[in-house]
Amino acid sequence: MPTACRSAGAAGNNRRFPRPKRHFPIKSRAFTELALEMTRIFIDGEAGTTGLQIAQRLTQRSDLELARIDPSARKDPEARARMLESADIAVLCLPDDAAREAVALAGDRCRILDASTAHRTAEGWIYGLPELKDGQRRQIAEASRVSNPGCYPQGFILLVRPLIEAGLLPASLPLRIHGLSGFSGGGRPLIEAYEAFDEETIERWNTRPYGLGLQHKHVPEMQRYAGCDLTPLFAPMVGHYYQGMLVQLPLFARELSTPASPDDIRETLARRYADEPFVSVLPTGAPDALDGGFLAPTTCNHTNRIELMVFGHHDQFLLTARYDNLGKGASGAAIQNLNLMMGVDETTGLTR
């Protein structure tokens, strides 16, 4: 979906840089040992949908200091540069070009968590999906540049990557993805448009496919981090409801590398995510998740939980991820990454 909180980046991800006034980062210790000073956080782009949600979550915490720019100066490059220089970690919630500008303004003076599309596949940036693979958390914790993942890619990657790694799904298989999200995923312009609709327009705009040129900006990170050889075909839709999302991947049994049942696929996912605090793999067919045979996209709203499900029979499978596009899909993922970068428990301030 058009990303509500976008941002940008630079290079030198694991580089250590001097901080004249603060003790972060420590060069020779794991970030779990960082507690010398309260971490100072600046959100560049706090007025956006995701920026507001991140700020709301952080203001309730006592283990960090939230630096805030005067609203009248939020587009002033000099004022922003001063805020970036004063921060230990800057969270960028900006359009891609503005985020690239922010990274240039920051230079080496602070660490950056970028919520835009700009650096998700860029060299020198660590992809901020802790559940991606062994060692990903440590890379995030020690990085100076972290890219927060897109909303749709998280569900796709967490469904597909374990199956490719387990040898069930060939990396060369051309995959098809269907996605559905609430309109908050489009940021303030789409939110304001949908909330202003009269009854006739609501009916006409109820559910709409988009990205029909098949060049959605989330596709490059989907392909790279899932481990696909070919570009997936991604068909997203926006519904007339505020938040919550589904990502679905249809498969035929004959497309698998080795014979498998829905239970086999579900077990592969369950083993992979057994120790993950925010990933739930539901029983095959997810009977308790259905309401009269229907699957609601909103059940995980206001949490950082992502639910993975496997539906189907001997010949056809439907892999599904359900989560909050504003939670695990955006601000919740940012808080999870920020916790790792600060060296605190990654679940701090998040609801499972």
Q: What is the pLDDT of residue 30?
A: 43
The whole-chain average pLDDT of the chain stands at: 91
Tokens of 256: 């698998």
Whether the pLDDT of residue 20 is over 80: the answer is no
Beta-carbon contacts of 220 under 8 Å, excluding residues fewer than 6 positions away, are 120, 121
Q: What is the pLDDT of residue 27?
A: 34
- pTM of the complete model beyond 0.75: yes
CATH 3.30.360.10 domain span(s) along the chain: 152-324
Q: Of 83, 121, 89, nearest to 105 (Cα)?
A: 83
Residue 103: which H helix or E strand, with range? helix 96-106
Q: How many CB atoms lie under 10 A from the CB of residue 201?
A: 13
Residue 127: which H helix or E strand, with range? strand 126-127
Lowest mean pLDDT among 28-37, 88-97, 207-216, 223-232: 28-37
Count helices and strands in the chain by DSSP H and E runs: 10, 15
Q: Of 76, 122, 93, 83, nearest to 338 (Cα)?
A: 93
Beta-carbon contacts of 36 under 8 Å, excluding residues fewer than 6 positions away, are 23, 24, 26
Whether the pLDDT of residue 2 is over 50: the answer is no
Half-sphere exposure of 185 (CA within 13 A, CB side): 29
d(CA 69, CA 182): 30
Residue 192 is which amino acid?
E
Q: What is the pLDDT of residue 13?
A: 43
d(CA 301, CA 283): 20
Tokens of 19: 């901080």
Q: What is the pLDDT of residue 25?
A: 38
Q: Residues 250, 6, 117, 19: is their CA dihedral positive or negative?
A: negative
Place of tokens 């120790």: 275
Q: What is the pLDDT of residue 172?
A: 98
CB-based contact 279:328 (threshold 8 Å): no
Q: What is the pLDDT of residue 6?
A: 33
pLDDT, tens digit (0-9, with 9 covering 90-100), for 57-105:
999 999 999 999 999 999 999 999 999 999 999 999 999 999 999 999 9
Task: Say how many Å lie between the first and final Cα of the chain, rounded.
Answer: 24
Whether the pLDDT of residue 3 is over 60: the answer is no
CATH number of 152-324: 3.30.360.10
Beta-carbon contacts of 234 under 8 Å, excluding residues fewer than 6 positions away, are 152, 177, 179, 211, 214, 216, 218, 219, 222
Q: Which of 93, 151, 228, 300 is catalytic?
A: 151
Determine the Cα angle at 232 with ends 219 and 234, to 5°. 65
Strand, helix or coil for residue 33: helix
What share of the chain has pLDDT > 90, as a percent? 87
DSSP state of 299: T
Q: What is the pLDDT of residue 14?
A: 40
Residue, of 1 and 204, whose pLDDT is higher: 204
Lowest mean pLDDT among 18-22, 162-166, 235-239, 307-311: 18-22
- Dihedral of the CA atoms 131, 326, 127, 255 (nearest 10)? 60
Place of tokens 């799904």: 169
d(CA 111, CA 16): 10
Tokens of 3: 């990303």
Q: What mean pLDDT is predicted for residues 8-12?
A: 35
Residue 329 is which amino acid?
G
pLDDT, tens digit (0-9, with 9 covering 90-100), for 268-302:
999 999 999 999 999 999 999 999 999 999 999 99
Rounded to 5 degrees, φ, ψ at 306 are -120, 130
Give 31-149+329-342's CATH code, choosing from 3.30.750.24, 3.30.1950.10, 3.40.50.800, 3.40.50.720: 3.40.50.720
Q: What mean pLDDT is predicted for residues 128-154?
A: 98
Q: What mean pLDDT is predicted for residues 232-246?
A: 97
Beta-carbon contacts of 128 under 8 Å, excluding residues fewer than 6 positions away, are 113, 140, 146, 147, 148, 149, 333, 334, 336, 337
Q: What is the pLDDT of residue 111?
A: 98
Residue, of 88 and 31, whose pLDDT is higher: 88
d(CA 98, CA 105): 10
Rounded to 5 degrees, φ, ψ at 192 are -65, -35
How confident is residue 202, by pLDDT bands cut at 50, 70 and 90?
confident
Q: What mean pLDDT is predicted for residues 319-329?
A: 98
How confident is residue 165, by pLDDT bands cut at 50, 70 and 90?
very high
d(CA 162, CA 169): 9
CB-based contact 164:171 (threshold 8 Å): yes
Q: What is the pLDDT of residue 205?
A: 85
d(CA 137, CA 336): 10
CATH 3.40.50.720 domain span(s) along the chain: 31-149+329-342
Q: What is the pLDDT of residue 39?
A: 96
110 as an active site residue: the answer is: no
Lowest mean pLDDT among 27-36, 96-105, 338-347: 27-36
Residue 7 is which amino acid?
S
